[in-house]
Structure 1
C-alpha cells in the first residue's frame, strides 16, 4: 500500500516538473512577453539613469566642498620618496604619466614654488 502511494506521488511530481518546464519554455516565447521588456526599458530611462546622474552630482558637489577647505601639504624632501633610477619614457622623464602639478611633487619640490 505504501509503495503504491510512493509511486503515485513520484509519478505526479515528475510529470509536474515536466509540465512546468514545458510551460516556462513556451511562456518565454509568448507574444505577450514584450510588456516586461518595455517595463525594464522605462525603468532604465526614468529610474536608473536619473539615479546615476544624481549620484554623480552628489559626488561632484562633495568633492568641490572638500577642495574648498583642503590645502596642499608642505613639501619635505625625504630621501626614500620620488626616487628616479631611470627616467619615465614619456615627456621629459621626470613627471609620472598622470602627473598633476597642483598635488604631485617632483623630486625637488612642487612646481612653481621655487
Structure 2
C-alpha cells in the first residue's frame, strides 16, 4: 500500500525531473578543438600536469566568453592571416578580422588572468 507521503514524494520527484529538461553537453566547443587548444597551450607553456590544468581552465574560460562560431571565425582569420602578401592581408586587415581577433585576444587575456 502506498502512503500519502510516498505518493507526494514520487509526484514531487517526477515534477522536478520533468522541469529540469534534457541534459546538455558540458561543452559547446567540439572535443577536437578543445584538445587542439590544450595541446598547443601545453607546447607553449610546458608539458606537465600543472599546465594541463591551467590550459584546460583557459579554454573553459574562453568558451564561457566567446561562442564557438565566433571562436572558429577568429581562429580562421588568425590562421589565414599568416599567408604572405595580399592573400593574407585580407585576413589580417579587414574590419571583421580585426574585430574577431580582438574579441579572442580579450578572452585569452581573461583566461590568463583566471588560470595562470
Please report the TM-score for the alignment, with normalisation by the length of structure 2: 0.24
* Rg larger for: 1
Structure holding more helix per residue: 2
Please report the TM-score for the alignment, with normalisation by the length of structure 1: 0.25
Higher relative contact order (CA 8 A, sep 6+): 2
